[in-house]
């Protein structure tokens, strides 16, 4: 077995390594994955019209890939323990409810509508941080940005040409669960 030295592999150079481990790279990767998943889920719900089946397939596929990679020795996967599983169950159910309401939102509303709801979460999070975690309220400049976000979301909702009560209902459910 041969090993690659850092001088023979151009992808392991110091500059490239630091970029790949940077926050900017992580944020860009998250944004790409999130946007791709949102659009592909909308397409899947449009074609199949069975959000529960799509969600089940995604979660089952993820579980199978994790088990396969563990079997191949590529990752370490702890065995399920009943006590830990029961403690984690509420978090898993909330996660599942969030994703299911997301899928139902995409079934009845367009991607833009769901994104407006999703992008307005900092408003609620900043207030919840203050109320429940004792953090400071946003600065006046941040409040101005949050207010602009709220005005934009309200403006979008009032002029949404493809308004469906079901779509907005599932967006609201997602919002409450999130």
pLDDT in tens, 152-168: 888 887 787 777 788 88
pLDDT value, residue 158: 79
Given this model, what pLDDT does residue 64 score?
Answer: 95
Q: What is the pLDDT of residue 4?
A: 40
Q: Which residue has the tokens 């001088």?
A: 7
In this predicted model, which residue has the larger pLDDT, 21 or 36?
Answer: 36
pLDDT, tens digit, 9 for 90 and up, residues 9-26: 444 455 566 777 788 888
pLDDT of 52 strictly over 60: yes
Q: What is the pLDDT of residues 83-128, one digit of tens each?
A: 999 999 999 999 999 989 988 888 888 888 888 888 888 888 888 8
**7 or 116: which leads in pLDDT:** 116
Say how many residues make up the chain: 178
CA dihedral 153, 121, 85, 80 (to 10 degrees): 80
Taking residues 64-90, report their average pLDDT: 91
Please list, in sequence order, all residues whose beta carbon lies within 8 angstroms of the beta carbon of residue 109, skipping any fewer than 6 positions away.
Answer: 162, 164, 166, 167, 168, 170, 171
**In percent, how much of the chain has pLDDT > 90?**
24
E-assigned strand segments in the chain: none
Rounded to whole angstroms, the Cα distance separating 160 from 113 reads 8
Q: What is the average pLDDT across 25-37?
A: 86
Cα separation, 91 vs 149, in Å, equals 29
The confidence score (pLDDT) of residue 160 equals 76
The whole model's pTM is what? 0.68
The CA distances from residue 75 to 1, 12, 63, 72, 80, in Å, are 20, 22, 13, 8, 15
Q: Give pLDDT, residue 16.
A: 64
Determine how many CB atoms are found less than 10 A away from the CB of residue 12: 13
Tokens of 89: 């169950």
pLDDT band at 2 (very low <50, low <70, confident <90, very high): very low
What is the predicted pLDDT for the residue at 8? 45
Question: In terms of C-beta distances under 8 Å and separation of at least 24 residues, what long-range contacts does 43-46 make, across chains too?
Answer: 45/103, 45/106, 45/107
Alpha helix ranges (H) inside 10-50: 14-20, 23-48
């Amino acid at each position: 077995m041969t090993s690659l030295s850092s001088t023979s592999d151009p992808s392991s150079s110091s500059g490239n390594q630091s970029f790949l481990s940077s926050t900017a790279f992580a944020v860009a990767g998250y944004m790409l994955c999130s946007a791709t998943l949102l659009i592909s889920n909308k397409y899947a719900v449009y074609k199949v019209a069975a959000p529960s089946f799509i969600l089940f397939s995604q979660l089952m596929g993820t579980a199978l890939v994790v088990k396969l990679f563990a079997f191949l020795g590529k990752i370490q996967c702890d065995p399920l323990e009943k006590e830990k599983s029961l403690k984690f169950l509420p978090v898993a159910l909330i996660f599942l409810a969030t994703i299911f309401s997301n899928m139902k939102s995409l079934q009845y509303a367009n991607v833009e509508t769901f994104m407006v709801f999703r992008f307005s979460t900092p408003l609620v999070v900043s207030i919840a941080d203050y109320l429940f975690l004792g953090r400071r309220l946003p600065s006046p400049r941040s409040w101005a940005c949050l207010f602009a976000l709220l005005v934009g979301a309200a403006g979008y909702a009032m002029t949404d040409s493809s308004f469906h009560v079901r779509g907005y209902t599932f967006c609201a459910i997602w919002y409450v669960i999130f």
